[in-house]
């Protein structure tokens, strides 16, 4: 019987999750079958159930790993001492840009396929994303109060714009113009942060 090939420090479940994220991005969650996934990792479809319970389990893992990563990073930024609010915003944006460049499949699936989560998981996912936006909102609001950020901006609209600017990096992956990731990151930061400075 074929076995899932793993790299060092990688579990068979990790290999399945990586393959699932790629297939969910390429074909969509609903159009991806367990047979497709088994073929991708090189085993029989029935053998997948030795490692996972369902396709839904994979979507849950992908979506909530992303929300957990973002929440943990936000916490680390909130705890930064002797750092301006603009510096915190830049740190968050650089993290989000790197995530969209280096961990694209998982972020794409979390952003686009989350609506296929079961109802209770959807509600949990929505709430976690809401809390992340709320925390981002608080950093910008404090920046305005401290005189670092323009008073004229609409904070919720600004959070929406900043988040969607980084989500939009998915088009960079499809572009035929090979802009290096470091140049993409620096240019986005220059444009986005300069628009906030008072």
pLDDT tens for 143-180 read 999 999 999 999 999 999 999 999 888 888 877 777 89
- Structural domain boundaries enclosing 177: 55-194
Which tokens sit at 66?
A: 């992303």
The mean pLDDT of 58-73, rounded to a whole number, is 98
Q: Is residue 63 part of a domain?
A: yes
33 and 113 housed in the same domain: no
Whose tokens are 């990096």? That residue is 169
Is 7 part of any domain?
Answer: no
Q: Are 43 and 2 in contact (CB under 8 A)?
A: yes
Whether residues 113 and 188 share a domain: the answer is: yes
Distances in Å between the Cα of 39 and the Cα atoms of 4, 12, 29, 54, 196 are 11, 14, 16, 16, 48
Does 4 fall in a domain? Answer: no
Domains held by the chain: number: 2
In sequence order, what DSSP letters do the residues of 75-94 get, joined into one string? HHHHT-SS--HHHHHHHHHH
Inter-residue contact 164 to 136 (CB < 8 Å): no
pTM to 2 decimals?
0.90
Residues 80, 18, single domain; the answer is no
pLDDT, position 4: 67
Q: Are residues 92 and 145 in the same domain?
A: yes
Q: Are residues 93 and 114 in the same domain?
A: yes
Residue 107: pLDDT band with limits 50, 70, 90: very high
Same domain assignment for residues 41 and 61: no
Query: Which region, left, alpha or beta, applies to residue 136 given φ > 0 means left and ψ of -120 to 50 means alpha?
Result: alpha
Are 41 and 84 members of one domain?
Answer: no
Under DSSP, is residue 14 helix (H, G, I), strand (E, B) or coil?
helix
Residue with tokens 């994220």, as numbered in its chain: 21
In this structure, what are the phi and psi dihedrals at residue 183, rounded to the nearest 5 degrees? -70, -40
Q: Are residues 95 and 24 in the same domain?
A: no
Q: Specify whether 45 is located in the same domain as 78.
A: no
């Amino acid at each position: 019987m074929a076995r899932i090939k793993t790299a060092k420090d990688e579990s068979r479940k990790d290999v399945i999750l990586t393959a699932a994220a790629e297939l969910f991005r390429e074909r969509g969650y609903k159009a991806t079958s367990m047979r497709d996934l088994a073929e991708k990792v090189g085993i029989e479809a029935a053998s997948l159930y030795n490692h996972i319970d369902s396709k839904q389990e994979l979507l849950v893992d992908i979506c909530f790993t992303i929300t957990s990563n973002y929440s943990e990073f936000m916490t680390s930024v909130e705890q930064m001492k002797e750092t301006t609010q603009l510096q915190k915003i830049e740190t968050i944006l650089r993290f989000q840009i790197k995530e969209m460049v280096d961990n694209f499949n998982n972020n794409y699936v979390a952003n686009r396929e989350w609506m296929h989560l079961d109802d209770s998981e959807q509600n949990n996912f929505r709430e976690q994303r809401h809390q992340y936006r709320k925390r981002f909102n608080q950093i910008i609001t404090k920046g305005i109060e401290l005189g670092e950020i323009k008073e004229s901006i609409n904070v919720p609209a600004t959070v929406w714009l900043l988040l969607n600017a980084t989500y939009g990096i998915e088009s960079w992956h499809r572009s035929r113009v090979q802009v290096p990731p470091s140049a993409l990151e620096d240019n986005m930061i220059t444009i986005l942060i300069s628009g906030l400075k008072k």
